[in-house]
Amino acid sequence: MIKAKKSLGQNFLVDKNILEKIVNSTEIFNKTILEIGPGTGNLTSYILKKNPKKIFVIEKDNELSSNLENKFYNQITIINEDVLKVDETKLLKEKVTVFGNLPYNISTEILSKWIINLKDNFWFECLVLMFQKEVADRIIAEFNTSNYGRLSIICNWKLNIKKICDIGPEAFSPKPKIHSSLLLFHPKQNFIKINDPNNLEKVTRVFFNQRRKMLKKPFNQLFNGDQKVLDKLKIDLNLRPQNLNLDTYYKLTCEYENLRS
Protein backbone atom coordinates (compact mmCIF):
# COMPACT_ATOMS: atom_id res chain seq x y z
CA MET A 1 0.00 0.00 0.00
CA ILE A 2 1.47 3.36 -1.06
CA LYS A 3 1.31 6.24 1.43
CA ALA A 4 0.79 9.56 -0.38
CA LYS A 5 3.50 12.15 0.30
CA LYS A 6 2.13 15.62 0.93
CA SER A 7 5.46 17.26 0.14
CA LEU A 8 5.25 15.94 -3.44
CA GLY A 9 1.60 16.96 -3.86
CA GLN A 10 0.48 13.36 -4.17
CA ASN A 11 -3.28 13.28 -4.75
CA PHE A 12 -3.98 10.41 -7.07
CA LEU A 13 -6.79 10.59 -9.62
CA VAL A 14 -9.26 7.78 -9.06
CA ASP A 15 -12.41 8.95 -10.89
CA LYS A 16 -12.77 6.80 -14.00
CA ASN A 17 -14.96 9.35 -15.82
CA ILE A 18 -12.35 12.06 -15.35
CA LEU A 19 -9.51 9.75 -16.40
CA GLU A 20 -11.54 8.92 -19.51
CA LYS A 21 -12.17 12.62 -20.18
CA ILE A 22 -8.47 13.43 -19.92
CA VAL A 23 -7.40 10.83 -22.46
CA ASN A 24 -10.22 11.85 -24.78
CA SER A 25 -9.18 15.51 -24.74
CA THR A 26 -6.63 15.01 -27.52
CA GLU A 27 -5.38 12.36 -29.98
CA ILE A 28 -3.10 9.72 -28.40
CA PHE A 29 -3.06 6.92 -30.97
CA ASN A 30 0.43 6.60 -32.50
CA LYS A 31 1.66 9.76 -30.72
CA THR A 32 4.68 10.09 -28.47
CA ILE A 33 3.46 10.98 -25.00
CA LEU A 34 5.23 12.60 -22.07
CA GLU A 35 3.46 12.20 -18.75
CA ILE A 36 4.61 14.28 -15.80
CA GLY A 37 4.11 12.95 -12.27
CA PRO A 38 2.42 9.63 -13.16
CA GLY A 39 2.22 8.66 -9.48
CA THR A 40 0.59 5.24 -9.16
CA GLY A 41 0.04 5.09 -12.93
CA ASN A 42 -3.74 5.54 -13.02
CA LEU A 43 -3.66 7.96 -15.94
CA THR A 44 -0.76 6.02 -17.53
CA SER A 45 -3.01 2.94 -17.83
CA TYR A 46 -5.69 4.97 -19.60
CA ILE A 47 -3.11 6.47 -21.97
CA LEU A 48 -1.74 3.00 -22.80
CA LYS A 49 -5.22 1.77 -23.74
CA LYS A 50 -5.22 4.37 -26.55
CA ASN A 51 -2.14 2.81 -28.19
CA PRO A 52 0.43 5.60 -28.20
CA LYS A 53 3.64 5.14 -30.15
CA LYS A 54 5.72 5.59 -26.99
CA ILE A 55 5.33 6.93 -23.44
CA PHE A 56 7.95 8.73 -21.38
CA VAL A 57 7.10 9.47 -17.78
CA ILE A 58 8.93 11.77 -15.38
CA GLU A 59 8.38 10.91 -11.70
CA LYS A 60 10.45 12.39 -8.88
CA ASP A 61 9.45 9.88 -6.20
CA ASN A 62 11.87 6.91 -6.10
CA GLU A 63 9.37 4.52 -4.54
CA LEU A 64 6.66 5.33 -7.08
CA SER A 65 9.17 5.07 -9.92
CA SER A 66 10.17 1.50 -9.02
CA ASN A 67 6.49 0.66 -8.57
CA LEU A 68 5.80 1.93 -12.08
CA GLU A 69 8.73 -0.13 -13.34
CA ASN A 70 7.08 -3.28 -11.93
CA LYS A 71 3.59 -2.34 -13.03
CA PHE A 72 4.35 -1.36 -16.63
CA TYR A 73 7.65 -3.19 -17.16
CA ASN A 74 8.51 -2.72 -20.86
CA GLN A 75 5.65 -0.50 -21.85
CA ILE A 76 6.93 2.88 -20.70
CA THR A 77 10.24 4.74 -20.29
CA ILE A 78 10.60 6.00 -16.73
CA ILE A 79 12.73 9.03 -15.92
CA ASN A 80 13.12 9.12 -12.14
CA GLU A 81 13.89 12.86 -11.87
CA ASP A 82 12.58 16.26 -10.93
CA VAL A 83 10.71 17.60 -13.97
CA LEU A 84 12.07 21.07 -13.28
CA LYS A 85 15.61 19.78 -13.89
CA VAL A 86 14.92 17.83 -17.08
CA ASP A 87 15.67 19.40 -20.46
CA GLU A 88 12.77 18.08 -22.56
CA THR A 89 14.31 19.30 -25.78
CA LYS A 90 17.33 17.01 -25.20
CA LEU A 91 15.29 14.06 -23.98
CA LEU A 92 12.84 13.96 -26.87
CA LYS A 93 13.59 13.41 -30.53
CA GLU A 94 10.14 14.34 -31.77
CA LYS A 95 7.24 16.56 -30.75
CA VAL A 96 5.20 15.13 -27.92
CA THR A 97 1.80 15.39 -26.31
CA VAL A 98 2.20 16.21 -22.64
CA PHE A 99 -0.12 15.11 -19.84
CA GLY A 100 0.46 16.50 -16.39
CA ASN A 101 -1.50 16.21 -13.21
CA LEU A 102 1.12 18.32 -11.51
CA PRO A 103 1.60 19.13 -7.88
CA TYR A 104 0.17 22.62 -7.45
CA ASN A 105 3.23 23.93 -5.66
CA ILE A 106 5.32 23.63 -8.83
CA SER A 107 2.74 24.83 -11.33
CA THR A 108 4.13 28.37 -11.46
CA GLU A 109 7.64 27.07 -12.11
CA ILE A 110 6.31 24.75 -14.79
CA LEU A 111 4.52 27.64 -16.46
CA SER A 112 7.68 29.66 -16.38
CA LYS A 113 9.79 26.81 -17.77
CA TRP A 114 7.41 25.61 -20.47
CA ILE A 115 5.41 28.67 -21.41
CA ILE A 116 7.18 31.92 -20.61
CA ASN A 117 10.53 30.66 -21.86
CA LEU A 118 9.07 28.71 -24.76
CA LYS A 119 11.21 28.98 -27.90
CA ASP A 120 9.48 29.36 -31.26
CA ASN A 121 10.36 25.80 -32.35
CA PHE A 122 7.76 24.31 -30.01
CA TRP A 123 8.88 20.99 -28.51
CA PHE A 124 5.28 19.81 -27.93
CA GLU A 125 2.17 19.34 -30.03
CA CYS A 126 -0.06 20.09 -27.09
CA LEU A 127 -0.15 20.23 -23.30
CA VAL A 128 -2.96 18.80 -21.19
CA LEU A 129 -2.36 20.19 -17.71
CA MET A 130 -4.24 20.29 -14.45
CA PHE A 131 -4.14 23.42 -12.29
CA GLN A 132 -5.74 24.67 -9.15
CA LYS A 133 -9.05 26.12 -10.41
CA GLU A 134 -8.20 29.70 -9.37
CA VAL A 135 -4.93 29.57 -11.33
CA ALA A 136 -6.67 28.11 -14.40
CA ASP A 137 -9.31 30.85 -14.19
CA ARG A 138 -6.57 33.47 -14.30
CA ILE A 139 -4.82 31.76 -17.22
CA ILE A 140 -7.93 31.74 -19.43
CA ALA A 141 -9.47 35.03 -18.28
CA GLU A 142 -10.73 37.45 -20.94
CA PHE A 143 -9.87 41.15 -20.81
CA ASN A 144 -12.34 43.39 -18.93
CA THR A 145 -12.74 40.74 -16.22
CA SER A 146 -11.29 40.73 -12.72
CA ASN A 147 -9.27 37.53 -13.27
CA TYR A 148 -7.49 38.98 -16.31
CA GLY A 149 -3.87 39.84 -15.66
CA ARG A 150 -0.23 38.92 -16.14
CA LEU A 151 -0.83 35.17 -16.19
CA SER A 152 -3.51 35.45 -18.91
CA ILE A 153 -1.35 37.75 -21.03
CA ILE A 154 1.85 35.72 -20.72
CA CYS A 155 0.23 32.29 -21.22
CA ASN A 156 -1.87 33.35 -24.24
CA TRP A 157 1.03 34.92 -26.11
CA LYS A 158 2.15 31.83 -28.06
CA LEU A 159 -0.57 29.35 -27.10
CA ASN A 160 -4.27 28.81 -27.69
CA ILE A 161 -5.83 27.67 -24.43
CA LYS A 162 -9.10 25.87 -23.77
CA LYS A 163 -10.67 24.61 -20.57
CA ILE A 164 -11.68 20.95 -20.76
CA CYS A 165 -13.42 20.63 -17.40
CA ASP A 166 -13.42 21.45 -13.72
CA ILE A 167 -12.62 18.61 -11.32
CA GLY A 168 -13.83 18.38 -7.73
CA PRO A 169 -11.75 17.10 -4.79
CA GLU A 170 -13.69 13.82 -4.67
CA ALA A 171 -12.01 12.69 -7.92
CA PHE A 172 -8.74 12.25 -6.01
CA SER A 173 -7.37 10.11 -3.23
CA PRO A 174 -6.47 11.51 -0.80
CA LYS A 175 -8.94 14.37 -1.38
CA PRO A 176 -7.23 17.76 -1.79
CA LYS A 177 -8.76 20.88 -0.20
CA ILE A 178 -9.03 22.66 -3.55
CA HIS A 179 -10.88 22.36 -6.86
CA SER A 180 -8.94 21.77 -10.06
CA SER A 181 -9.35 22.54 -13.77
CA LEU A 182 -7.93 20.81 -16.79
CA LEU A 183 -6.55 23.01 -19.56
CA LEU A 184 -5.49 22.19 -23.11
CA PHE A 185 -2.71 24.29 -24.72
CA HIS A 186 -1.86 24.32 -28.44
CA PRO A 187 0.94 26.33 -30.07
CA LYS A 188 -0.29 29.28 -32.14
CA GLN A 189 0.66 29.41 -35.81
CA ASN A 190 0.98 33.19 -35.61
CA PHE A 191 1.83 35.37 -32.68
CA ILE A 192 3.30 38.83 -32.22
CA LYS A 193 7.11 38.66 -32.19
CA ILE A 194 8.69 39.86 -28.97
CA ASN A 195 12.49 39.57 -28.81
CA ASP A 196 12.84 38.91 -25.11
CA PRO A 197 10.00 37.37 -23.05
CA ASN A 198 11.44 39.12 -19.98
CA ASN A 199 10.19 42.36 -21.51
CA LEU A 200 6.64 41.02 -21.61
CA GLU A 201 7.03 40.07 -17.97
CA LYS A 202 8.33 43.54 -17.17
CA VAL A 203 5.66 45.47 -19.08
CA THR A 204 2.83 43.42 -17.51
CA ARG A 205 4.41 43.67 -14.05
CA VAL A 206 4.51 47.46 -14.24
CA PHE A 207 0.98 47.76 -15.63
CA PHE A 208 -0.61 45.33 -13.18
CA ASN A 209 1.31 46.56 -10.17
CA GLN A 210 -1.70 48.69 -9.29
CA ARG A 211 -4.53 47.08 -11.17
CA ARG A 212 -7.24 49.39 -9.87
CA LYS A 213 -5.43 52.57 -10.89
CA MET A 214 -5.59 54.25 -14.29
CA LEU A 215 -3.01 53.50 -16.98
CA LYS A 216 -1.35 56.89 -16.85
CA LYS A 217 1.26 56.17 -14.18
CA PRO A 218 2.57 52.82 -15.47
CA PHE A 219 2.51 54.11 -19.05
CA ASN A 220 4.60 57.14 -18.11
CA GLN A 221 6.97 54.97 -16.12
CA LEU A 222 7.72 52.78 -19.17
CA PHE A 223 7.19 55.16 -22.07
CA ASN A 224 7.78 58.57 -20.60
CA GLY A 225 4.36 59.72 -21.85
CA ASP A 226 5.20 59.00 -25.51
CA GLN A 227 2.11 60.27 -27.41
CA LYS A 228 3.10 58.42 -30.62
CA VAL A 229 2.75 55.06 -28.86
CA LEU A 230 -0.64 56.06 -27.45
CA ASP A 231 -1.90 57.12 -30.87
CA LYS A 232 -0.52 54.08 -32.65
CA LEU A 233 -2.09 51.61 -30.21
CA LYS A 234 -5.20 53.75 -29.56
CA ILE A 235 -4.76 53.62 -25.80
CA ASP A 236 -6.90 55.76 -23.50
CA LEU A 237 -4.93 56.46 -20.32
CA ASN A 238 -8.12 56.82 -18.31
CA LEU A 239 -8.70 53.08 -18.63
CA ARG A 240 -7.41 50.45 -16.20
CA PRO A 241 -4.90 47.64 -16.91
CA GLN A 242 -7.62 45.00 -17.25
CA ASN A 243 -9.27 47.00 -20.07
CA LEU A 244 -6.42 46.51 -22.56
CA ASN A 245 -6.72 43.35 -24.64
CA LEU A 246 -3.98 40.73 -25.12
CA ASP A 247 -2.64 42.08 -28.42
CA THR A 248 -2.29 45.58 -26.98
CA TYR A 249 0.07 44.22 -24.31
CA TYR A 250 2.13 42.31 -26.89
CA LYS A 251 2.32 45.41 -29.10
CA LEU A 252 3.19 47.60 -26.11
CA THR A 253 6.07 45.22 -25.36
CA CYS A 254 7.31 45.56 -28.97
CA GLU A 255 7.17 49.35 -28.61
CA TYR A 256 9.06 49.07 -25.33
CA GLU A 257 11.74 46.99 -27.09
CA ASN A 258 11.93 49.48 -30.01
CA LEU A 259 12.41 52.32 -27.59
CA ARG A 260 15.37 50.59 -25.97
CA SER A 261 17.08 49.27 -29.10
Select the residue interacting with ligand SAM from 26, 47, 52, 60 (CB under 6 A).
60
Question: Rounded to the nearest 5 degrees, what angle is found at the Cα of 198, between the Cα atoms of 192 and 199?
Answer: 60
DSSP state of 189: S
The least distance separating ligand SAM from the CB of residue 243, rounded to whole angstroms, comes to 36
Chain centre distance of CA 221: 30
Q: Could you say whether residue 11 binds ligand SAM (CB under 6 A)? A: yes
CA–CA dist 252, 229 (Å, integer): 8
Q: Could you say whether residue 194 binds ligand SAM (CB under 6 A)? A: no
Please give the full DSSP string across 232-251, using - where no structure is assigned: HHT--TTS-GGGS-HHHHHH
Q: Which is nearer to ligand SAM, 123 or 148 (CB)?
A: 123
Q: Which is nearer to ligand SAM, 129 or 200 (CB)?
A: 129
Q: Is 192 exposed, middle or buried (0-12, 13-18, 19+ CB in 10 A)?
A: middle
Q: Could you say whether residue 43 binds ligand SAM (CB under 6 A)? A: yes
Q: Which is nearer to ligand SAM, 87 or 231 (CB)?
A: 87
Q: Could you say whether residue 67 binds ligand SAM (CB under 6 A)? A: no
- Is the sign of the CA dihedral 218, 137, 61, 125 positive or negative? negative
What backbone torsions phi and psi does residue 4 show, to the nearest 5 degrees? Answer: -65, 135
The least distance separating ligand SAM from the CB of residue 154, rounded to whole angstroms, comes to 21
Q: Could you say whether residue 181 binds ligand SAM (CB under 6 A)? A: no
Select the residue interacting with ligand SAM from 34, 38, 76, 149 (CB under 6 A).
38
Q: Which residues bind ligand SAM (CB under 6 A)?
A: 8-13, 36-40, 42-43, 58-61, 64, 82-84, 101, 103, 106
